Structure 1
């Protein structure tokens, strides 16, 4: 039985195929835990693949939090500016004309600008307080270009709190392989996560 034109359109590719968004790439992946890691977490830990991906994730997260904070601040500042710039209630008692719209618009622009400027530092501080604890404790994989875990060595910048003790234990135990380090190493070294250009 032949189908009419409208029935053919109902079974066309544009009508029957559902497109899905591409999956977001994982920020962290599983790697074998180091001997110094808490054994109760299991044989694997989630970690960033390198310090560059850690820095990029830190910058992106902090930027998004600041953006959302400033969006919320703009709403609050708009309400506050409108309240401050509306004509006082007592003017209507004496039959005064309503406030000139141009004058009120200029008043609201001034109040908005002052409110946003005062809130900018607060949003930056808020984002930093939210990001630092999470990224300070995040794991970063310590692997060479072939993906083979590096051994801890004396003076390594990727050692935990005490590189000398970790190096000595590594030298005494040749099978000891350190697979990751924490983001606090990068933060503690005085490097700013925003310093990375990539």
Structure 2
């Protein structure tokens, strides 16, 4: 069975990423080998997809992913697997010799295109029929969207709970501070208070009150 895939994607200098990589891990011994890349808005999902396409077909002439790294320094890489054979490649922004092997030597585009069965970035023919197999059913897309939205909601709720807990802790610390201030009565005032209590006891006012209460 034909099996072409990418095992790792290196975002060396591309878009907002610098020296970042996505490792899809080894193929499981049994069961499906299927990965879902998801994240919050602006996390870099579209950037990663564009980097994958640029790795296969070349960085576009007017790429919009040069806002951090200029064209001359843009670089992506990856570990590709074609028919069970894995090899590492990298790609720079250049009109010629933009594809390189693991040692940095120029590599012919045939090294990749020969395994794509006519697949192009947005071309017709075999590409259309093959890409249709990569399109998820609408119900699956809806389910994935719901998963992401729920995860986003959970993240937001956790963030709000964290902020509320921090505010409650600040309030508790402030209350403790006030209690401490109230307990720290100046000694002269404490002495006057105790003297007043002693005087009241000596005059019998407290006793008469206690006796009447009894």
Q: Does the TM-score normalized on the shorter chain lie above 0.5?
A: no
Task: Report which of the two has the higher share of strand.
Answer: 2
Query: Relative contact order, CA 8 A, sep 6+: which one is greater?
Result: 1
Q: TM-score range by the shorter chain?
A: under 0.3
Larger radius of gyration: 2
Task: Report which of the two has the higher share of helix.
Answer: 1
TM normalised by structure 1 equals 0.27
